[in-house]
Structure 1
C-alpha cells in the first residue's frame, strides 16, 4: 500500500489503533474517494472520463485517490479503464442505499 493510504492496524485519522472500520472511514472520507467509487459503479472509465464525471476534481487529487483506492484493493485498471474490484463492488452495494436515503433526507429539509 502507498505510504499515506489508510491501512487497518496502522494509525489513521481518528484512531491510533487503526481499527479496520476507522481505516475505511479515513479512506472514504478523503476528497473524491466516494465520488470515484460511485462513478465506477456502472462501468469502467478512463482517467479523462472520471475527471469529466467528477466535475471539479483536479488531476492531482484524482490521481492520488486512484492510487489509494487501487492500493486498498477497491479498484483496478483493466487495460481499458479503472473499474471496481469484487471488494469494491461489495462495498458499493453496501453504500448504494445511502443514495436513496439522501433523496428522502433532502426532501425532509
Structure 2
C-alpha cells in the first residue's frame, strides 16, 4: 500500500504527530522531530505531495486529509503509550 509505504518512512509519523496542534515553523518542527534539515525537507515534500501537510503563513500544518489520518492513528498512538509503560522502550 502506498499509504503505509509513506508512513513507514523515517520521521514521517513523527512529523504528523508534531503537527497535530498549531502550525509549526520549519525550525520548530526540525527541533521537535530531532532530525536534520535535509531529511525534514524530503519528508515534508512527500507529505505535501500526498496532501497531508501544507505550508501556510503560520508554518506547516496538517490538511483536512492529514487531520483525518491523525484521527485514524489515535488508537495506535494510545496503544503505543500503553505498550511503552510495560516495556523498557518507553
Instruction: State the TM-score, normalizing by the size of structure 1.
Output: 0.76
1:85 lines up with 2:63 in the alignment: yes
The superposition leaves residues 54-92 of structure 1 with CA deviations (integer Å, 9 ceiling, x where unpaired) of 12x111000000000000000101122000000000000
Paired residue total = 87
Match of 2:33 among 46, 54, 63: 54
Deviation at 1:30, TM superposition (A): 0.5
1:104 match: 82
| CA distance in 1: counterparts of 2:85 and 2:5, whole angstroms | 28
Can you give the 5+ residue segments of structure 2 that lack an aligned partner in the other structure?
none
Tell me the SS of whatever aligns to 1:77: strand
Match of 1:44 among 13, 19, 23: 23
Bigger fraction of residues in helix: 2
Match of 1:63 among 24, 41, 46: 41
Deviation at 1:97, TM superposition (A): 1.6
Instruction: State the TM-score, normalizing by the size of structure 2.
Output: 0.91
Poorly superposed stretches of 4+, deviation over 4 Å:
none
Can you give the 5+ residue segments of structure 1 that lack an aligned partner in the other structure?
1-21
